[in-house]
Amino acid sequence: MQFTPEHLESYHRDGYVVVREFFSKKEVELLYRVATTDDVITSKSYDRTDAAGLKTKLALWYALDESIYSKFARSERIVNAVEQILDGKAAHYHSKLMQKEPRTGGAWEWHQDYGYWYKNNGFLLPEMLSVITALTPATKENGCLQMIRGSHKMGRVEHGFSGEQVGADMEKVTEALKIMPLDYLEMGAGDTAFFHCNVLHASAANLSDHPRWSIITAYNLASNKPYKDVHTSSYTPIEPFKGDLLTEEVVSISDQADFLIK
C-alpha cells in the first residue's frame, strides 16, 4: 500500500491517518519474531506505570544503525510519507518497541507527544510526528490507541504527571471530547498510523489474553533543531533504506544504540 494524496489530506484534517497493510504480514512477522527473542531489547526495556499501577514495557533508542529496526525506521515507504507530511527532509528522533502484555499491560494517559518534546527536549516548532506499525493486532480489548480527531488544531496544551507518565490537562481533554470525535485505532498486523505531535491520544490497559506489540518511530523536520536535546539524529536527514527487509541479512540492535535508560 502506498501513501496517497488522500492519506495526506486525512492526516492534515484529522491529525492522523491509518494506512492499511502498509507492511506485509511477512515483514511484521519477521520483525516481531526478532524483537521477542532479542536479548538486547529485553535488557534495555523498562516499565512505565499508569495511574492504576499497571505497567507497560518499552525499549527506546535514538541512534540509527544497520539493525532490522533501523532499516524499518528508514524504510523508503515511511520516509517518503513523512517527508510529504512535513514538506521537507525528515530526521529520526527516536524509535521504541511498545510491549503491552496480556492482563498486565498498563494504560497510557491522555497526552500530546509535543507536550513534553517542547518542554523537556527543546523543540520549538511542532513539525514532528509519530508513525506506529502494529506487530500484533490492536483492538479495543487489548488497549489500542485512541485519538481525539482534529485535536491537533488546538495547539499544545499544558501537561503534568499522572503516575510515571506525562498527561495532558484533563480539563482541556474533557472539553475536547465534547466537540470532537473519539476514534479507536483498531489495526491489524502491518497496518500503520501516522499521527501529528499535537493530536491528543491515549490507550487503555490490556486486560485481554492477547499481547499488543508495536513499533513507533518519532520523526522531526531536520531544520527543527532542538536547543536542549543532545541527540544528533533528531536533526540529521535520514538516508532512506531502499532494500527489502525479507531478503536482507537480519542484524539485531547493538547495545550501543543510544538507549534511553530509566
Q: Is the pLDDT score of 223 beyond 90?
A: yes
How many CA atoms does the CB half-sphere of 21 hold within 13 Å?
4
- The per-residue pLDDT for 50 is 81
130 falls within a domain: yes
Per-residue pLDDT band at 213 (split at 50, 70, 90): very high
204 falls within a domain: yes
- Top pLDDT among 95 and 51 is at 95
262 falls within a domain: no
pLDDT digits (tens, 9 = 90+) for 97-148: 999 999 888 888 899 999 989 989 999 999 999 999 999 999 999 999 999 9
228 falls within a domain: yes
- The per-residue pLDDT for 107 is 87
47 falls within a domain: yes
How many CB atoms sit inside 10 A of residue 181's CB?
A: 11
Domain CATH for 153: 2.60.120.620
Q: CA–CA separation, 189 vs 26, rounded Å? A: 10
- The per-residue pLDDT for 163 is 57
136 falls within a domain: yes
Residue 40: domain span: 5-235
Number of independent structural domains in the chain: 1
- The per-residue pLDDT for 162 is 59
248 falls within a domain: no
> What is the residue-averaged pLDDT of the chain?
95
Per-residue pLDDT band at 75 (split at 50, 70, 90): very high
Q: What is the pTM of this model?
A: 0.96
252 falls within a domain: no
Q: Is the pLDDT score of 14 beyond 60?
A: yes
